[in-house]
Amino acid sequence: MLNKIDHVAIVVNSIEEAIKRYSGLFGFKELESLTDPGGEFKSTLISVDNVTLELLQPVNPEGAIAKFLAKHGEGIHHLSLNVSNIKQELKTLKDRGTRLINEEPIPVSSTQVAYVHPKATGGVLIELIQR
C-alpha cells in the first residue's frame, strides 16, 4: 500500500551549497546525512513543513549519480514513495509485468528501498521506500 510521497531526490554539485540555497529560500533544515555504502554518493535529507528533499552529491566520478550530473546537470533524480510493505509492492508490480530495477529490497540505513525502472513509468525513476 502506498502511504505518501516520502521525498524528492535532487542531484547537486555540492550538498553544502544546496542546503544553504534551500534553507535560505524556503527554510529547510537538515535531518540526516549518509554516504552510500558502495561509495557512489553522499546523501542528505532536508525538510520543512512535512516536505522532504534528498540531496545527492556524487563521490565516485564513475558512478551513476556522477554520470547523471554530467549528462543532465543539477536537478530531480527520483520520486520516492513510502510503502507499508515493500516486498508485497514489488511482488504486485512484478505480477503486473512492471519493469523493476530491483526485485528485492536493498537495506539502506534503517530503511529498505527498491527502484521501478523509468521505462515503466513514462520516464520517472520511482523509489519505493519502507521506513
Could you tell me the domains of the chain? 2-130 (3.10.180.10)
Phi, psi (rounded to 5 degrees) for 18: -65, -40
CA distance 63 to 117: 18
Cell of 52: 522532504
List per-residue pLDDT tens for the chain, 131 residues long: 999 999 999 999 999 999 999 999 999 999 999 988 888 999 999 999 999 999 999 999 999 999 999 999 999 999 999 999 999 999 999 999 999 999 999 998 889 999 999 999 999 999 999 99
113 touches 123 (CB < 8 A):
no
Cell of 54: 534528498
Q: 0.85 cut: is pTM over it?
A: yes
32 touches 44 (CB < 8 A):
yes
